Amino acid sequence: MAASTADIVAVIQAVATAIDDELEPEEVAELAAGIEPTDGVFYPGVVQMDYMTGKLIESYKPVPKMIIAMFDTGGTVNTVELHSDYSENRGNENSSAELLEAVDSLKKDFSPENIARVATMSARANQRILEKPQLEEIIEFAQSQGALGVNVAHSGTMLGILFKPDESMRKVLDIAKAVEAKFPHMEYFETERLIPGGWIIRQR
């Protein structure tokens, strides 16, 4: 959900606005990453970036309005400790060639189907770092019901089930209820659509 990053960015831009300034995403990235490992939600579009430095690696546009049914898998995560352990273990250097190729494919194919495919692969790879209980069973069940795949919070407890943009919202909610019933540790949170990053400043 990038909740902590959202809070940090809101404070950064609020202070900048108070002195009649507005920072560029790259400036926000440097400040945010200086506080803690950060997500790229402040960049336009959907991005791949270095979570430790805020450096932009790749930007993907246009962003399809995929439907995401979100669940909390339970428990808590100390994100600073998790990222510290991840960095010490050299993080993405241990990623498989298959996953890296899949991520690279997003530059040419940023369709809902490919996004879900890569996100699901990434969720599986992240099991060795932060396990989500019954992930394989959840993926299998969700896809059997018509979902495209899943995504997970790599340093949090959230899990999303991904659907194509034109999927029936009634069907999505029915599947969400079925998932919650089949996997008691999964608490349905809400349903949203994939949107581009960035911020909106409102002065009152």
Answer yes or no: do 52 and 122 share one domain: no
Answer yes or no: do 145 and 179 share one domain: yes
Answer yes or no: do 37 and 72 share one domain: no
Answer yes or no: do 167 and 142 share one domain: yes
Answer yes or no: do 48 and 66 share one domain: no
Domain that holds residue 11: 1-59
Answer yes or no: do 70 and 130 share one domain: yes
Answer yes or no: do 92 and 15 share one domain: no
HEC assignment per residue over the chain:
CCHHHHHHHHHHHHHHHHCCCCCCHHHHHHHHHHHCCCCCCCCCEEEEECCCCCCEEEEECCCCCCEEEEEECCCCCCHHHHHHHHHHCCHHHHCCHHHHHHHHHCCCCCCHHHHHHHHHHHHHHHHHCCCCCCHHHHHHHHHHCCCCEEEECCCCCEEEEEECCCCCHHHHHHHHHHHHHHCCCCEEEEEEECCCECCCCCCC
Question: Is 139 within the bounds of a domain?
Answer: yes
> Number of folded domains in the chain?
2
Q: Percent of the chain having pLDDT more than 70?
A: 93
Whether the full predicted model's pTM is greater than 0.85, yes or no, is: yes
Residue 108, domain CATH: 3.30.70.890
Question: Is 200 within the bounds of a domain?
Answer: no
Answer yes or no: do 69 and 144 share one domain: yes
pLDDT tens digits for the chain (204 residues)? 678 899 999 999 999 999 999 899 999 999 999 998 889 999 999 999 998 999 999 999 999 999 999 999 998 887 768 767 665 554 555 678 999 999 999 999 999 999 999 999 999 999 999 999 999 999 999 999 999 999 999 888 999 999 999 999 999 999 999 999 999 999 999 999 999 999 988 887
- Say what the pLDDT of residue 4 is: 86
Question: Is 189 within the bounds of a domain?
Answer: yes
Per-residue pLDDT tens over the stretch 111-149:
999 999 999 999 999 999 999 999 999 999 999 999 999
Answer yes or no: do 178 and 96 share one domain: yes
